[in-house]
Amino acid sequence: MNKKRVNINRGAGVLFLIFGLLFFIIIVRFFTIQVSGKVDGVDLAAKAAKQYLQMDKIKANRGTIYDDKGEIIAEDTASYTLGAILDKKMTTDPKHPHHVVDPQMTAEKLSQYIDMPEEDIYKRLTKKGPFQVEFGKAGNDISLETKKKIEALKLPGIIFIPGSKRFYPNGIFASHLIGYVSQKNPDDPNTKMVGKMGLEQSFDKYLQGTDGKVSFEGDLWGYLLPGAKKKVQAPKNGDNIYLTIDKKIQIFIEDALSKVEEKYKPKNMIAIVADPKTGKILGMGQRPTFDPMTRDGIEKAWSNQAVETSYEPGSVMKIFTLAAAVQQGVFNPNAQYKSGTFYVKGVPNPIRDWNYGAGWGTITFLQGLQRSSNVAFATLLDKIGQDTFRTYLDRFHFGQPTNIGLPNEASGKILYNWPIERYTTTFGQGTTVTGVQMIQAATAIANNGKMMKPYVVDKIVDPNNGEVKKTKPEIVGNPVSAATAKQVRNYLRTVVTAKDGTGKLYEIPGYDVTGKTGTAQIPGPDGKYLKGYDDYIFSFLGMAPKDDPKLIVYVAVQQPQLDEKNYESGSVPVQMIFNPVMKNSLQYLNIKPAKMTANKVAKVPNVTNMNTSDAQQKLKDTGLQVVVLGKGTNIVGQLPAKGTVLIQGEKIFLKTDNNPSVPNMTNWSKRDVMNVAKVLDLKLNMIGDGYVWKQNITPNSPIQKGDLLVVNLLPMDKLMEKQAKKTSQENKNKQNQNKQDSSENSVSPPLD
């Protein structure tokens, strides 16, 4: 018994020692922590403070983009992300719940304000486990107005996470030039916005701001604790960018492009307006395009075609070949050459003029320019010299990016290895360019030899300190002299004014437009050029007014759906863009048209019953063009009648008393045909519109009163093309040459 008690006492003693030791350790630990304030080297006060310390980000505003007049093109606006708290622990007072109490009612109310079915909202609000849910795309970018309406419902647990979105108030407006922004992480609406295209991308480092932050001691729900202080680090907003783009001119471009897109549905189009004195781009548009707010249409065109796409320019390139020839002193406008075909040494197939090699016989080089003869420019290369011409291509900076300040700029490629490539480059085949390269090169012609670098950003302004970074106009070359540039503009003016000029459609009364047309072939997947009726890039590069150009406008339209049955020209959709954009822009800039020279007029005298010879002489003295219908010696009828006022050079028709006949009316206008039919008492049937292509009555054959006169009419450019084809076919038949072989010729020039 005593032994048992001794063992119990020993055990109790051991336990007492153990618990005493543990208690001692705890007391020592307690005092150590109390004195040092640390556990395992961790500062407990700091850790406690951190537990209650709240940190909020203050988002910086992305810089605003303005046009040259200070009107907003892109800016940040407030937006909110809709969220719902599901965790019941967030509610400490049942009378004031902080979580979603009634999912069914909440879903029903929210479905009226966000684009999500009620049942889908309900599913999200009844998920098990998550502390908080959001509503995907339907709950992002909530406007302030919608936020206020939802808040007025006083739905427990519904919260709004503040943010911002990019707003483009003009909709489709130079979209590829301006670009767009999106979240760096699309799955997290709280991540930073970054530029994805255009200026938004290339100037992202300027537009991006630096976020600020605010720190304070708060409770579990983020409320400021009593007596706590906030520490605020202010955000640095992004720089504001002012463009060279003029909103009015850009609207002119967008409107014109939209009209052509609707009517002709081309695959691609670009239009650029520039100030040749500075290099400022005043407008730049394209089709297809997209809405930067919604991204609608962006899948059709991911690139800025005027900057990122290179292509064969066609005969617009002749502007710069002409400039090289004039600068070298080898362009004699009155010298003659044989048009039609040109053989390059060692190459079996010739270079042909666009009318299938028919040409126009022996004509002057100025006429070759006006008719856009490829043979004329191939011939000029021999006068300029191949190596010399290559240096001019470098002087005009072809094959080099312009560094306009937009992303992914293409450089184009000068194809100049083989002799045939050197000749075809003179008229824009083989060698590739970009739209902005054409603008840059054209500034040298418009600006008296000084070639200006194109640019789209006028200045960058730091809103935090007012610092301004201004872009200064930059001369990047002097490829030709002022005298050469002026002379080239004079020659190019005749492309628009000459009777056979390919640019007649681009005349704008009062503004002396000068420029050059282009019809470039398009390489197909097999490397051969496409051969469809409208498988071309139709273009025009023009400037006005000629003597002191204020604007350069370049338009290119790829593969418009033309009316082949009626021989519709590819110049028509280009004109629908160029003419209104150039005219409206000049007028908007208050560039007044030149005074129009008054046409000399003549009052038609009465020559009825006069001798034919005397009547002809009397009318010629008034400056009228006399057409005698018949072989008689006396005049028995005239049209227009006496007293009519005509412009000198207009036709007057005289019917004779013997063997009246119909003349050859090819190329005549509809009005002249009507006068012939009326004065000869013929029945008239006109088919088509434009100028005479065919007539049913053989010229100068006898006719009777009441005979039927049938004429087929075509637009002038198509008439010229038909005539050229006819002449070409006759020549080919004589030479036993297959027309199909000609159309597949690898050096066959563009139809221009």
Peptide bond into 419 cis (omega under 30): no
Residue 466: burial class (beta carbons within 10 Å; 0-12, 13-18, 19+): exposed
Q: How far is CA 315 from CA 190, 371, 380, 431, 581, in A?
A: 52, 11, 14, 12, 22
Provide the 8-state DSSP code for 303: S
Q: What sign results for the dihedral spanned by CA atoms 158, 162, 163, 164?
A: positive
Rounded Cα gap, residues 502 and 510, in angstroms? 19
Determine how many CB atoms are found less than 10 A away from the CB of residue 96. 8
Whether omega for the bond prior to residue 640 falls within 30 degrees of 0, making it cis, is yes
Asked if 602 and 645 count as a contact pair (C-beta separation under 8 A), the reply is: yes
Catalytic residue chosen out of the listed positions 310, 315, 373, 748: 315
- Angle among Cα 219, 223, 228 to the nearest 5 degrees reads 80
Tell me the Ramachandran region of residue 718: left when phi exceeds 0, alpha when psi lies from -120 to 50, beta otherwise: alpha
Tokens representing residue 661 in the block: 């006949």
Residue whose token pair is 């054409």: 438
Query: What backbone torsions phi and psi does residue 327 show, to the nearest 5 degrees?
Result: -65, -35
Instruction: Determine whether 651 is exposed, middle or buried from the number of CB atoms within 10 Å of its CB (0-12, 13-18, 19+).
Output: middle
Contacts of 227 (CB under 8 A, 6+ apart): none
- In the residue annotation, 315 being an active-site residue is answered as yes
Q: How far apart are CA 438 and CA 451, in angstroms?
A: 11
Query: C-alpha distances in angstroms, 680 versus 493, 652, 685, 707?
Result: 40, 13, 14, 9
Cis preceding-peptide flag for 235 (omega within 30 of 0): no
The rounded distance, in Å, linking the Cα atoms of 493 and 515 is: 6
Tell me which residues are annotated as active site. 315
